[in-house]
Structure 1
Amino acid sequence: MKVQLRRSTALSSLLVSVMAWSSGALASDTGMEDAAPANEAILVSASKPQALEVGGSVQFLDSEDLAEFSYTDPNRLLRQIPGVNLQEEDGFGLRPNIGIRGSGTDRSARIALMEDGVLIAPAPYAAPSAYYFPQISRMSAVEVSKGPAAIKYGPMTVGGALNLISTPIPDETSGFGELLAGSYAARRGHGWAGGWVPLSDGLEAGGLIEGLYEHSGGFKHIDAGGDTGFEITDVVAKLGLRSTDGRHALEFKFEGYDETSAETYLGLTLDDFRATPYRRYNASQRDEMNADHQTYQLTYRFRPSDALGFTVVAYRNDTKRAWYKLNDVRNTADTGWNSISSVVADPVTYATQMADLVGAPGYTGRTNGLRVRNNNRRYQATGVQGLFEARFATGSASHELQLSARYHEDEEDRFQQDDVYQMADGRMILTSAGAPGSNSNRLGEAEAWAFFIQDTITLGTITLTPGLRYETIDLKRTDWSGSDPERVSPTSIRTTNVDVWIPGVAAAWEFSPGMRFIAGAHRGFASPGPGSTTDAETSWNYEAGFKLARNAWHLEAIGFFNDYANLVGTCTNSTGGNCTIGDQFDGGAAHVKGLELTGGYTFGSIAAQGFAVPVSVVYTLTDAEFRTSFESDYEPWGTVEKGDLLPYLPKHQLTLNAGVDLEKVRLSASVNLVSKARAVAGTGTIPASQKIDGRALVDLAAEWDVYGPISLFGTVNNLFDKTYNVAFSPAGARPGAPRMVLGGIRARF
């Protein structure tokens, strides 16, 4: 613990120095245009046009895209971006599983997940699983970076980066509010207000306050009754100070999140899913997640001229979560425990255990039949990152140089215990309470320095963007026995150091105005966890394609190939749990290749014809296979033969969008088609017990401006109430969300 204290003291001194230097720099002012948003330099692109101009695969969804359907589930929103792989779980997207270009999807741990350019997973290095995910409902934009563009962020560069951009302080005093209600006791209240005001000559003060409340009663039903929904509150406050000449901008952001959700890892047997897909067994009645999260972020930007800029961000994220949920069932011999994933996969062999899970009326189970774990964890992530920008010319070539550095430290503190229950007449009765820390008493820590350099070189119609990232990561895992809650004597201490160079290069040729050929290559990297004995996940990734942005047309067609030297799987409860939680597994060589296509056109215009009809298409083809044979205790892999396909990767994903915009009315429709996939690696016909259903889903949205700033808004998700299985992990078949209707009133001022 002394080492941790020393790190925190050093970081605190660095933060104080940054703040003091920022305050002094703000006193200077010189005569420039209005400042850009404080975090603009952290982004790969800050708008759709910029995304199309980048020499690589970057997609950008702006505020209009996000407002069209007003999704709360990030899985539904991210269907609009090619190359993104999604493994649904709870139907609401509370803990989405997101991958990019074939990277692992489990808890989004194989992508760089950010909010406003800052790593936002609870412990991005020590424990990158995203048990906290920012609410899509309060975002103003979403940026997904793939290929060489992804190495700007790190440490996860195998697939890419997902950056969620929060509501900025508006230039003019303005606001927004909405009240919506709908199916399954759904309620949403969301609003923000803010702006900038003159403070003195040459100085402005700004502020924003935003609040979000979301509730659902849940669409599943426990046999004995009980809640299956969630309740979330999310508050954001921003304070800003900027010079009117555009040289200086200082912004402080606070975000506080609180969630209670009656979510479980327990799914259904395949037969029960087919009969009653929205059922939950009685053994899940005690399952509940309680989570809270706070973000503190201070951003300063200094731009002495149009050619030079410096941005520094200091941040701290605190996350606590206690997920109290069914973990396993006592085995028949009364000598140990069977995982719930094994039981629901084979209810005949595990008939006694299955009876304890179902808890039928009149049934009395074993006094030690059910074990519920309090997955109590605390996370902290703290850091400072800086970015220097310079524009200059050498002969006929222009340069946009970026240099960045980041110091980051994070930790995951596990202090968990198991409680034992008996099932009696459909109700769970506590028979033995565990002592806090008796199940897992450990601390995982990470300290990392990261450096990045990139130069965008433009010579006529040719743009070349070489970049290089370096990460040095110190990982440490300390374990104590369950009988040592004060952590006096560690049972083991394991340390690891990782040093990695991550190069990349992108090229673009604008052979005609608005038309580009692009190509790129970069090294993919994913850091191992504390105490891991596996090699880091590495790959070489390549892409090439075509971009068009002309008049009302936009089109991108990009092929990609990821050549994994070593694929890594991490054992978590969410992958099935038939392994030691936290262990990592080598998957050897693998190839992931595919095609990403996105395009659109807008027919007509409201100004000229009185209407506009926007249409667009998003398509992803993915072909991913292992290139080595091996046996693994990692449940999604199992026994693998060379040529086996990777799990949870549908070959085809297609989203078709169309709308009709009138002066005061907007109608939108989206059709999403996903081909079947397998839950376990393999080839040939997918067994029914491993088949993830293909599906075709239709969503509708409409908005009518009824009076001035007031409008009526409504959506229908899964219009035809399609029933489909989205996964067999964590434990058993799991349904996607049924038809859901949401509607209400909006106001903009």
Structure 2
Amino acid sequence: MPTPFSRNLLALAVISAPAAALAQEQSLNELVIIGDDASASALPGSAHVVTSEDLETMKYTDIHKAVREVPGVYLKEEDGYGLRPNIGIRGSGSGRSSKITLMEDSVMIAPAPYSAPAAYYSPTFGRMNGIEVLKGPDLLRYGPYTVGGAINLRSTPIPSSEAGHVTAEVSENAGKRIHSWYGNSTDNAAFMIETFQEETNGFKELQQSSRDTGFEKQDYVAKARFNSDASAEVYHQLDLKFQYSEELSNETYLGLTDDDFQRNPNKRYFLSQLDNMDNRHNGYSARHLVELTEDLSLTTTLYRNEFKRNWYKGNFNSLIKAANNGDQTAYNQLQGEEPFGPFTLTNGAREYLSQGIEVKADYGLSLAGMRHDITVGARVHEDEADRFQPKDRYQQVISNGRPAFEFIEQIAPTGGDNRIDEAEALNLFLADRIAINPDLSVTALLRYEDIETSQTRWSTTQRTSTSETETASNDTSEVLPGLGATYRLSPTITLIGGVHRGMAPAGSGGTNVEPELSTNFEAGARYYDGALRAEAIAFFSDYENTVRNCSIANPCNVGNQAIDSGTVSEGESEIQGLELLAAYEFTLLNGLTAPVQATWTYTDAEVTKDSDDGSVLKGDNLADLPENVAAVRAGLRDGDLWDAYINISYVDETCSDNSCDRSGTDNTFRKTDDYTVVDLSGSYALNPSSRVYAKVDNVLDDQEIVSRSPHGARPNLPRTAYVGISVDF
């Protein structure tokens, strides 16, 4: 967010700058939560920006591959393409990214962030222009998840003058991708239209079937901007955005047995043949900015997101467990070699709605010889998740030596399959960044969250008051303070430190369920000297109540029972770690440069007090949390003529549940593998506006068990080659 001081600098430049350029600058400022690297270095906490130039080096369309270069971020792969990301920050838990604040252009983008936080939708990453990852006390400006961190995805901005772009790509497994946009700006109006299209047949081989295991995705965006003259006494700007996307993917919750994984990690069982995801997303936003004075501005944002999905899938976890333990009949049934059933496939039909209004005022003043940049904000929000999920019963039969499915009946939805989760939330925040002297800045923050959630279930499809079988409601009110500071020790070294109260609210489905609360500390130093940039930050989080959001994809273990909905408490815990980053650009002979960046995150976490139900014990680990995550990216560039990059990432083994490191526990099927992935890319400029490129993901073809949920061992993407061309016009 721009400070009043930075806006004063902009105002001084109005005489020589066209109004279109000023409006473009204002639009970009309101869509970001950090800004550029210089803005990140001024924050009283950990903040990282992955720029459009960074994204262009490897041309990733999977958000997992891009964020693994950011220290303090953890991920759990699931489908190999990042269709439904599982991202955590500083031990917050990665399941369905349900414990982080996920935004697009600074607007919350999860389908129902309060009532049903599991993010089954994530914006199409291939059309993004940058990523911002924010941790530390400045999180209190956003929320609702202020324990680990926030991720803001920057979409393609409206160009400052007439411009367009097209990228076309083909890849193995019949992969195709097109990304194009066109826009223009004048002094008082601007627009942009954009589309992203991607499809592939997938890399998995469905046994005894000709059906592919890939996906098709289409995404469309339209933006418009209207603004007053730059010389107007009171400057107004209105930004409008509309987005629509749809996806059809033949994805499944069914993984593999360990023995089959070792033989062929890309195999997929016949029993998952009918599984698929079908979803659609509509997003609308309107943002109005008014500069009332040189020191006072007001921003109002209205937003609405609608998401519909049907994940048609079976739950065959019991067969996987039995087959892993040597049950030959269960294994044959997975393979489609023996009859099985009756069994059910769930029409996972859900409709999500998330909408609200945000108002934010920025004011700058000098008081007692110190500069204050004050931001006051308020948001009124509501969301809901409507589940109406009938179940189809099938029988697997063997006919002429081949498997087939016979439909038996459809079961009307009741209880957990026929319910509405709802939430209403009011949050307020106050932030004051105080420049005490040229070297020392202190930021004081205060956030208030008031949340009401409810869940209603019905026993009949009519949903009458007499058919209500269960209701639940929960109220949460929390005041969350924070304090951060930066001190410039020398022209190249800045010290940072901060403490804040973090919260992750419980989703609907329970009564008197306490939110996850933690006290979070961080301290470190940043170094910047031209071509060299380095950062070291230690963090510590003391959780009073560790909460896990349960889903079929990320079930919670309570006793010997797997819970796939609601929220459970996992006791008190402590998470501590160290984040390191170093980047340097070497200058070589003949104008060649070699940029290098390395990151490493070390994390130590454990439960410090038993949970109330005794399912989690003191000394237990936290699930899906690797001890070490590292990444190195190195390149060689000849100006804008050509470039070549290598990206190496490493993820440690992780425990799939809390009990895997207990004494006497058999960890055979409780841990993932550690794995290293090496990616290569290169590009060459045909002319100033056209560029060809080629890349290979996982060039060593190292596939390991990167996840055991949902329902069996899952691999990362195998070696995959791509070629493409991009044209600017």
Question: Which deviates more, 621-630 or 98-107?
Answer: 621-630
Deviations 1:137-195 (A, max 9, x none): 11111101111121111111111101101111111111211100011111100011112
For 2:457, the aligned partner's letter is D
Cα distance in 2 for residues equivalent to 1:737 and 1:631: 40
Task: Quote how far apart the aligned CAs of 1:341 are.
Answer: 5.7
Match of 1:703 among 683, 692, 695: 683
In structure 1, which of residues 514, 525, 535 is the aligned counterpart of residue 492 of structure 2?
A: 514
Query: Per-residue deviation at 1:352?
Result: 4.4
Matched, 1:222 2:206: yes
* Cα displacement string for residues 124-146 of structure 1 (whole angstroms, at most 9, x for unaligned residues): 10111111100111111110111
1:454 match: 431
Contact 2:28–2:157 (Cα < 8 Å) also in 1 = no
Per-residue deviation, 1:416: 0.5
Q: 1:364 aligns with which of 339, 347, 355?
A: 339
How many equivalent pairs are there? Answer: 693
Partner of 2:604: 623
Of the candidates 32, 45, 54, which is equivalent to residue 65 of structure 1?
54
What is aligned with 1:20? none
Deviation per CA, 1:442-466, whole angstroms, max 9, x where unpaired?
A: 1111111110100000112111001
Secondary structure, counterpart of 2:570 in structure 1: strand
The answer to whether the 8 Å contact 1:269/1:347 transfers is no
Q: Give yes or no for the alignment of 1:649 onto 2:625.
A: yes
Give the equivalent residue in structure 2 for 1:423. 396
In structure 2, C-alpha distance between the alignment counterparts of 1:694 and 1:530, rounded to whole Å: 35
Residues 553-702 of structure 1 mapped to structure 2, 5 A cutoff: 553-576=532-555, 578-604=561-587, 609-630=590-611, 639-663=615-639, 664-681=641-658, 682-683=660-661, 687-702=667-682
Give the corresponding residue for 1:322. Answer: 310
CA distance in 1, matches of 2:320, 2:287: 45
Q: Does the alignment pair 1:212 with 2:188?
A: no
Indicate which of 501, 510, 527 corresponds to 2:479: 501
- State the 1:687 CA deviation: 2.3
Deviations 1:282-341 (A, max 9, x none): 11000000000000000111123432211111000000000000124xxxxxxxxx7456
Q: Secondary structure at the match of 2:173?
A: helix
Label 1:32 to 1:484 Cα distance change in 2 as closer, same or farther (>3 A): farther
Distance in 2, matches of 1:438 and 1:456, equals 49
Pair 1:307-2:285 in alignment: no
Q: 1:324 to 1:486 in 2, by over 3 A?
A: farther
- Asked if 1 retains the 8 angstrom alpha-carbon contact of 2:104 and 2:154, the reply is yes
Task: Map residues 166-565 of structure 1 onto 2, 5 A cutoff.
Answer: 166-198=155-187, 204-225=188-209, 226-245=211-230, 247-328=235-316, 339=318, 342-343=321-322, 345-348=324-327, 352-360=329-337, 363-366=338-341, 368=342, 370-425=343-398, 426-435=403-412, 440-460=417-437, 461-484=439-462, 489-533=467-511, 534-565=513-544
Distance 1:655 1:100 in 2: 16
**Contact kept? 2:554, 2:564, Cα under 8 Å:** no
1:186-230, Cα deviation, whole Å (9 max, x unpaired)? 1100011112024xxxxx110000100011111011111222100
- Misfit runs of 4+, over 6 Å: none
Aligned to 2:712: 732
Give the gaps of 5 or more residues in structure 2: 1-13
Please tell me whether the aligned partners of residues 250 and 277 of structure 2 are also in contact (alpha carbons under 8 angstroms).
Answer: yes
Query: 1:245 is paired with a residue of what secondary structure?
Result: coil
Deviations along 1:420-463, whole A, 9 cap, x unmatched? Answer: 11112322221222235686111111111110100000112111
Backbone CA RMSD of aligned residues: 2.0
Task: Report the CA distance shift for 1:354/1:639 in structure 2 as closer, same or farther (over 3 A).
Answer: farther
Inter-partner Cα distance in structure 1 for 2:216 and 2:689 = 29
Residue type matched to 1:706 in 2? L
Equivalent residue for 2:118, pick from 87, 106, 129 = 129
Helix, strand or coil for the counterpart of 1:388?
Answer: strand
Distance 2:454 2:28 in 1: 32
Task: Please give the secondary structure, in 1, of the residue aligned with 2:54.
Answer: helix
- Alignment CA distance shift 1:687-1:494 (3 Å): closer
Task: Letter of the 1:598 partner, please give it.
Answer: L
Question: SS at 1:691's partner residue?
Answer: coil
What letter corresponds to residue 227 of structure 2 in structure 1? R
Q: Percent identity?
A: 37
Secondary structure at the counterpart of residue 693 of structure 2: strand
In 2, are the aligned partners of 1:69 and 1:715 still within 8 Å (CA)?
yes
Candidates 154, 162, 165, aligned match of 2:151: 162
Whether the 8 Å CA contact 1:418–1:439 is kept in 2: the answer is no
State the TM-score, normalized to the length of structure 2. Answer: 0.92
Contact 1:52 1:549 in 2 (8 A): no
Give me the whole-angstrom Cα distance separating, in 1, the residues matched to 2:272 and 2:612.
32
Partner Cα separation in structure 2 for residue 50 and residue 405 of structure 1: 23
What secondary structure sits across from 2:314 in the alignment? strand
Q: Give per-residue Cα distances to partners, 1:8-41, cap 9 Å, x unaligned.
A: xxxxxxxxxxxxxxxxxxxxxx989623232624
> In 1, Cα distance between the equivalents of 2:330 and 2:176?
38
TM-score (norm 1): 0.89
Partners of 2:31 and 2:63 lie apart in 1 by: 22
Mark the runs of 5 or more structure 1 residues left unpaired by the alignment. 1-29, 199-203, 329-337, 633-637
Query: Which shifted more, 572-581 or 245-254?
Result: 572-581
Q: 1:566-618, CA deviations, whole angstroms, 9 ceiling, x for partnerless residues?
A: 1112221002475343232111110110000111011128xx95221101111
For residues 198 and 478 of structure 2, the distance between their equivalents in structure 1, rounded to whole angstroms, comes to: 42
Contact 1:180 1:745 in 2 (8 A): yes
| Greater CA drift, 124-133 or 506-515 | 506-515
